[in-house]
Amino acid sequence: MLASLFDFFTTTGFALVTWKMVVMWGVVGVLLWLAIARGFEPLLLVPIAFGALVANLPTRGVITARMDENGVYQTASFVLEGERLPDHAGTPASPAADRERVRVERVEGGLFDFISQGVKLELFPPLIFLGVGALTDFGPLIAMPRTLLLGAAAQLGLFITFMGAGLLGFTAKQSASIGIIGGADGPTAIFLSNKLAPELMGAIAVAAYSYMALVPLIQPPIMRLLTTEKERKIRMKSLRKVSKAEKLIFALVVMVICILLVPDASALIAMLMLGNFLRECGVTERLVKSAQNEIINVLTLFLGVSVGITMAAESFLAPATLKIIALGVVAFAFSTAGGVLVAKLMNVLSPHNPINPLIGSAGVSAVPMAARVSHNEGQKADPHNYLLMHAMGPNVAGVIGTAVAAGYFLSTLGR
């Protein structure tokens, strides 16, 4: 009987637990604590943490994973079983000499193998952008379109971090994927890293969402360092009212210009603007509600779990993860600084209609947290100064700017 019990023990998961898995359980605990106790992006961090826990348990029939010889950790790769079919007599030769016809009889894969295809095939991030577009009011940006430049300036951190990552030994593709953390846009970071550096996607996603939650801690010191008390007290003119037609035209203009300039960002930009067009046209209320609620919620859940699944100990517990976390702060800091400094430059060039430089930091696209930080910092200098709506302009411009930057990285590195 003892021997039988021992034999049975070898079939359990206990025998397969490694010390690295135990360390990852600790990481999962930290992520859950951040999400639940501290409220750091819980909608993403909770599914990510659970996915990470599943990835670090000796599961069976849940997900297939293997470490390639080149060090790339592959998840959700299917095994197809089928029968090779003979070519029909008389049919023209196939263009590809090695092309075969196979009747698929069984696909081996667990639940997460299928869910993760949404990330691998790059379906989830653009579809989440559909919901983001449906939730976003571009009115403040349309009322003051020059704040688009602040959204562009806040992409500075992406490119600075690209160089920093290169200096730390990352390849160009990996550097671009790490740099995009500075855009403070989780779906875009996942979208880009899945294409350029899938082996780093878990660490990049965790860093991106963690730092997005830390925006109220990271940004204010930089904002105060780069601005004077007088600048922080600048009151801006009230925003004009924006008509429905303008909002509709804006969605089309953004989509056309961005796709013409960076076609690789088409999926993100097109879905973002489709969601926004649905919102603003006023005749698709049911679709808007679905995009704002059911679609984005379901996809956020699947996206988080799919990202968490990539965080197996073999790939996550590496020096690269620590470097990515350090570089993430650099990216956020330079993006914040870029927005503030360009706002100051705009004031020099156009002194008759000054911009409060604090809204420049909102160019990182952590919506609406970065805008709230600008507003709160402004109120510390002048309690009667309301910057929130002014800061929403660069804030939503940052979403577009990050998508464009991702398109640039993809068009230059993604092939």
Partner 1 sequence: MTPLPHLLALAEYPGFAESIAYQATGLVVVFLALGSIWAAMELIGRCFSRRPAPAAALALAPQAVPNGTIDPATVALIAAAVHATVGGPHRIHAITAAAHPVDWAREGRRSHFASHQIR
Contact call for residue 145 and partner 1 (CB under 8 A): yes
Contact call for residue 245 and partner 1 (CB under 8 A): yes
What long-range pairs does 247-255 form, CB within 8 A, spacing at least 24? 247/138, 247/139, 247/142, 247/276, 247/280, 248/277, 248/280, 248/281, 250/138, 250/141, 250/142, 251/133, 251/138, 251/276, 251/277, 251/280, 252/277, 254/400
Tell the burial category of 77 from Cβ atoms under 10 Å away from its Cβ (0-12, 13-18, 19+). middle
Distance CA 29, CA 44 (A): 15
Of 313 and 390, which has the nearer Cβ to partner 1? 390
In whole angstroms, the minimum distance from the beta carbon of 288 to partner 1 comes to 12
Contact call for residue 346 and partner 1 (CB under 8 A): no
In whole angstroms, the minimum distance from the beta carbon of 218 to partner 1 comes to 17
CA 73 to chain CA centroid, nearest Å? 20
Contact call for residue 261 and partner 1 (CB under 8 A): yes
Contact call for residue 370 and partner 1 (CB under 8 A): no
What long-range pairs does 280-283 form, CB within 8 A, spacing at least 24? 280/244, 280/247, 280/248, 280/251, 281/248, 282/244
User: What angle separates helix 172-179 from helix 186-196, to the nearest 10 degrees?
Assistant: 170
In whole angstroms, the minimum distance from the beta carbon of 166 to partner 1 comes to 6
Please state, as a whole number, how many other Cβ atoms lie within 10 Å of the Cβ of residue 95: 6
Of 284 and 411, which has the nearer Cβ to partner 1? 411
* Binding window for partner 1 (CB under 8 A); candidates: 89-97, 147-155, 218-226, 376-384: 147-155
Distance CA 162, CA 182 (A): 10
Check if the beta carbon of residue 360 is closer than 8 Å to that of residue 342: yes
In whole angstroms, the minimum distance from the beta carbon of 372 to partner 1 comes to 7
Distance CA 263, CA 83 (A): 39
* Tokens 């698709």, residue located: 284
Contact call for residue 215 and partner 1 (CB under 8 A): no
In whole angstroms, the minimum distance from the beta carbon of 154 to partner 1 comes to 10
Contact call for residue 148 and partner 1 (CB under 8 A): yes
Contact call for residue 237 and partner 1 (CB under 8 A): no
In whole angstroms, the minimum distance from the beta carbon of 401 to partner 1 comes to 5
Candidate list 35, 192, 262, 311; residue touching partner 1; CB under 8 A: 262
Contact call for residue 156 and partner 1 (CB under 8 A): yes
In whole angstroms, the minimum distance from the beta carbon of 90 to partner 1 comes to 38
* Residue 398 amino acid letter: G
Per-residue binding string, partner 1, 288-307, x by CB under 8 A, is --------xx--x-------
Candidate list 139, 186, 275, 357; residue touching partner 1; CB under 8 A: 186
- Cα angle vertex 224, ends 221, 226, to 5°? 110
Distance CA 184, CA 41 (A): 12
Max CA distance (Å), the chain: 89
* Residue 355 amino acid letter: I
SS3 29: helix
Candidate list 16, 22, 43, 80; residue touching partner 1; CB under 8 A: 43
Contact call for residue 415 and partner 1 (CB under 8 A): yes
Contact call for residue 125 and partner 1 (CB under 8 A): no
Candidate list 172, 239, 326, 329; residue touching partner 1; CB under 8 A: 172
Of 172 and 270, which has the nearer Cβ to partner 1? 172
Count interface residues toward partner 1 (CB under 8 A): 66
Contact call for residue 50 and partner 1 (CB under 8 A): no
Check if the beta carbon of residue 245 is closer than 8 Å to that of residue 84: no
Contact call for residue 253 and partner 1 (CB under 8 A): yes
In whole angstroms, the minimum distance from the beta carbon of 45 to partner 1 comes to 12
Select from 398, 366, 400 the least CA-distant residue to 271.
Answer: 400
The encoded tokens of residue 12 equal 């359990």
The contact set with partner 1 (CB under 8 A) reads: 43-44, 128, 131-132, 135-137, 142-143, 145-146, 148-149, 151-153, 155-156, 158-160, 162-163, 166, 171-173, 185-187, 212, 240-241, 243, 245-246, 249-250, 253-254, 257-258, 261-264, 296-297, 300, 366-368, 372, 388, 397, 400-401, 404-405, 408-409, 411-413, 415
